[in-house]
Amino acid sequence: MESSTEPVRRSLKSARVVAFAGAGISAESNVPTFRGADGLWRNYRPEALATAEAFHGDPRLVWEWYDWLRGVIHAAQPNPGHLALTELQRRAPEKFTLITQNIDGLHERAGSHDVVKLHGDLWLLRCTQCGWEGRDERVPLTPLPPLCHCGGMLRPAIVWFGEMLPVDEWERAMDAAQSAEVFLSIGTSAVVYPAAGLVQVAHRAGAKVVIVNPDPTPADELAAWVLRGPAGEILPRLL
Ligand code: NAD
C-alpha cells in the first residue's frame, strides 16, 4: 500500500488535520529512539529505565540517563519534519492539532504551539514529596538527583511506563482524533498504549489515516496511505 505524497498533500487542503508524532520524528535531529539500533545506553535498555520502579530502585542511575538525554537534546536542532508541522499549523491553526508522544520540546523550538503533550516534558521537574513543578533547562543538572526547595527529590515531569497520562492532554487528544478528517501518524512504532490507540479512534471516526515511517508498523493496516521514509524528507513534500 505504498503511496506517493501528492494525493496526501491534496487531502490535507482544507481538512481537519491531526499530526500524531513519536520519537521517530526527532531521529533526524540525532535524538535516539527507544526501539531503534541506538536504543541502548551503557548497556541499559532505556525502556527499562523509564519506570517509577527503576527510579525508586536507583534514582541516580535513572537521572544520569535523563541528564545524558537532556544534553543530547540540548545540542540538537529541530529538523525539516518538525518545521513542516509548524508550517501546516501556521496555514490553518484552527483546523490543525499536533499531538506528540515526545518529551524533547523540539516541536516548540520549531515554532509549533498548543502542542498536546501526552508524555510530559523533559525540561519540567516535579518534586516527589511536595508536588512542586518547575522548568529547569540546566545542562548538565547538579546535583543528581536534583533536589526541591523542600528537600525532596525531583523527578522529570514525564509519563513513565505504567503511569497515567495527563487527563487534560488525553481529553484534548481524544477530541481531536474523533473529529479529524486526516490523521497523520509520524515516526511512531504505534505499540505504546494508550497513545497508540488514537490511530484506531481516528480511523473508527472516519479519518483517513496516513502513516509516515521508514519501517512497517501495526497501524499500517488502518492506513489510506503509507508513506515509507524519513519524516524529515516526507513531511516537507506534503506542504
Ligand atoms: P516509538 O515507539 O515512537 O518508535 C520510533 C519509531 O520511529 C519506529 O517505528 C521507527 O521505525 C520510526 N522512525 C525511525 N526513524 C524515523 C524517521 N527518520 N522518520 C520517521 N520515523 C522514524 O518511539 P520509542 O523510541 O519506542 O519511544 C516510546 C516513548 O518513549 C515515546 O512515546 C516517548 O514518550 C519516549 N521517547 C521520547 C523521545 C523524544 O522525545 N525524542 C525519544 C525516545 C523515547
Domain that holds residue 14: 1-30+78-119+165-239
Domain count, the chain: 2
If asked whether residues 232 and 211 sit together in one domain, one would say yes
The more confidently predicted of residues 154 and 40 is 154
CATH of the domain at 95: 3.40.50.1220
Query: 96: closest CA among 84, 110, 81, 78?
Result: 84
Clarify whether residues 95 and 146 are in a common domain. no
Q: Is the pLDDT of residue 1 over 60?
A: no
Nearest atom in ligand 1 to 39's CA: 25
The verdict on 42 and 149 lying in the same domain is yes
Cis amide leading into 140 (omega within 30): yes
Q: 1 with 98, same domain?
A: yes
Q: Enumerate the active-site residues.
A: 119
pLDDT of amino acid 43: 80
Could you tell me if 143 and 237 lie in one domain? no
**Does residue 101 line the site of ligand 1, with CB under 6 A?**
yes
Same domain, 115 and 125: no
Ligand 1 center to 64 CA (angstroms):
20
Q: Are strands 208-212 and 182-186 parallel, antiparallel or unpaired?
A: parallel
User: Which residue's CA is the nearest one to ligand 1's atom 7?
Assistant: 24
Give the number of other CB atoms < 10 A from CB of residue 4.
10
Of 158, 187, 207, which closes a domain? 158
Sign of the C-alpha dihedral, residues 106, 109, 112, 117?
positive
Cβ neighbours for 160, distance < 8 A, ≥ 6 positions apart:
50, 51, 52, 55
| Residue 17, amino acid | V
* Domain end (from 158, 176, 210): 158
End position of a domain, from candidates 109, 131, 158: 158
Q: Once rounded to an integer, what is the mean pLDDT over residues 150-168?
A: 97
Whether residues 38 and 100 share a domain: the answer is no
Report residue 52: phi and psi, to 5°: -65, -35
Read off the pLDDT of residues 63-105 as tens digits, 9 standing for 90 and up. Answer: 999 999 999 999 999 999 999 999 999 999 999 999 999 999 9
Give a three-class secondary structure readout of the chain: CECCHHHHHHHHCCCCEEEEECHHHHHHHCCCCCCCCCCCECCECHHHHCEHHHHHHCHHHHHHHHHHHHHHHHHCCCCHHHHHHHHHHHHCHHHEEEEECCCCCHHHHCCCCCCEECCEEEEEEEECCCCCEEECCCCCCCCCCCECCCCCEEEEEECCECCCCCHHHHHHHHHHHHHCCEEEEECCCCCCCCCCHHHHHHHHCCCEEEEECCCCCHHHHHCCEEECCCHHHHHHHHC
Confidence bin at 2 (pLDDT 50/70/90): low
Query: Model confidence over 99-140: pLDDT tens digits?
Result: 999 999 999 999 999 999 999 999 999 999 999 999 999 999
CA of 24 relative to ligand 1 center, distance in Å: 4
Q: Are residues 129 and 139 in the same domain?
A: yes
Same domain, 178 and 204: yes
127 and 172 inside one domain: no
Give the domain CATH number at 69. 3.30.1600.10
Mutate to test the pocket of ligand 1, among 34, 74, 82 (most ligand atoms within 8 A of CB): 34
Cα(150) to centroid(ligand 1), Å: 35
Whether residue 169 is found in the same domain as residue 226: yes
Ligand 1 pocket member 23 (CB < 6 A): yes
Q: How far is the CA of 155 from the centre of ligand 1 (A)?
A: 22
Answer yes or no: do 41 and 112 share one domain: no
pLDDT at 23 over 90: yes
